[in-house]
Amino acid sequence: MASIGNLTLDAPFFQAGLAGYSDAAMRLVARRHGCPYCVTEAMLDVFLINGGKGLKEVELDPEDHPIAGQLMGSHPKEIAQAAKILVNLGYDVIDVNIACPVKKVRRRSRGGHLLCRPDDAVAVLEAVREAVPSEVPATVKLRRGTDDSAEAERDFHKIFQKVMELGYAAATVHPRSVEQKYLGPSRWEFLRELVKQYVPRRTVPAIPCGATDAGPIVPGGADAFQIFGSGDIFAVEDIFRMIAETGVAAVSVARGCIGNPWIFAQARALANGDREGAGRGPSIAQQRQVLLEHFELSCRLHGERKASMTMRKFGIKFSRHHPESEAVAKAFIAVHNSSQWRAVVDEFYGGAEMNVANQRLG
Ligand SMILES: Cc1cc2nc3c(=O)[nH]c(=O)nc-3n(C[C@H](O)[C@H](O)[C@H](O)COP(=O)(O)O)c2cc1C
């Protein structure tokens, strides 16, 4: 069982922070499909401090727990203040992002930039840990370094050791370098070495295996520092392969769950040894239901106009499950309002008769 401080996850996977995607609507859909824990997209500390209308969108639905609010910043005082705001808003965990490779973010000395400034990174981490009450776990998201140089590796370990000393509950490591962005594979061997070095009680099985065979991994127990892994998780098997090959306590699902909340239900099935359930893709009726539900949640959160724009990119991802994916994606891209969304769903995922049938079942 994975844990984050005093918080126990009943399954070893969770939804990653995904800027532009992992809003409350996406998170609620994921949870309804078995996701035990979610991370928000990275929020700028100054955005929270300045308050205003935007704060409405970071208020939490009672169903949206446990959740980590992820922060990005460069000034210890500001990020500490923002961390307190998130705690007051009811976030269960505060996660600090020192991973983001986006140029605009790094130019302002935030995100992945901090990986090559270990002293600044530590100052930020220290300020957050001090600002947050001890019962609220703090966690961190990192990449494996700025680039492939020996200096970058030294900086990573300097920061990582401090993460543990400061009392951080967990670290999610995406073993691509900042320079690498998303090009090339995520280096899982880095994760395996990290687990061996920092949490050696989690012994890694020699043979890559499925969920039910993940035998010799010994969890550290509540309050023990945990390493979570990220990178190249596109199908349910990848989740358990990463655990088996690296020994991470839990896996962060990112691009693999955009337009694919079913990956969480499949992962639950695989964790229970149900290989047939794990291999079952969503039926057209299930896709229809999620498309309508996700759109409605998005409207509630953002209003119809913004939701219609936001949902287009989700529509493209969802369309991959449909036999006519190209036509479906094209239709979703042209949507401007909820009746047009509904019309696309009715055209490709069954119309009025299916509604009646669903109502009878409900
Ligand atoms: C569009 C996009 C937005 C992302 N936004 C965030 C973010 O806000 N916070 C974060 O920690 N990681 C963010 N990430 C990184 C992912 O959480 C994850 O570490 C990365 O995609 C590697 O996992 P994958 O290869 O399985 O997708 C983002 C990734 C993508 C593709």
- For 63, which DSSP code? T
pLDDT at 355: 52
Confirm if 142 and 160 have CB atoms less than 8 A apart: yes
Could you give the percent of the chain with pLDDT greater than 70? 91
Residue ranges and CATH numbers for the domains of the chain are 2-278 (3.20.20.70), 284-361 (no CATH)
pLDDT, tens digit, 9 for 90 and up, residues 40-70: 999 999 999 998 777 888 999 999 999 999 9
- Please state the atom number of ligand 1 nearest to the C-alpha of residue 42: 8
Q: Rounded to the nearest whole angstrom, what is the distance from the C-alpha of residue 256 to the centroid of ligand 1?
A: 10
User: Is any atom of ligand 1 closer than 6 Å to the C-beta of 180?
Assistant: no
Structure token digits, residue 324:
């006519």
pLDDT at 197: 96
User: Is any atom of ligand 1 closer than 6 Å to the C-beta of 239?
Assistant: no
pTM value is: 0.93
pLDDT, tens digit, 9 for 90 and up, residues 106-149: 778 788 899 999 999 999 999 999 999 999 999 999 999 999 99
User: Is any atom of ligand 1 closer than 6 Å to the C-beta of 22?
Assistant: no
Question: Taking 50 as the threshold, does the pLDDT of residue 35 lie above it?
Answer: yes
Tell me the longest C-alpha to C-alpha distance in the chain.
64
Question: Which residue has the least CA distance to atom 16 on ligand 1?
Answer: 254
- For 226, which DSSP code? E
Q: Rounded to the nearest whole angstrom, what is the distance from the C-alpha of residue 18 to the centroid of ligand 1?
A: 5
pLDDT band at 155 (very low <50, low <70, confident <90, very high): very high
pLDDT band at 30 (very low <50, low <70, confident <90, very high): very high
How many angstroms separate the CA atoms of 245 and 255, rounded?
Answer: 20
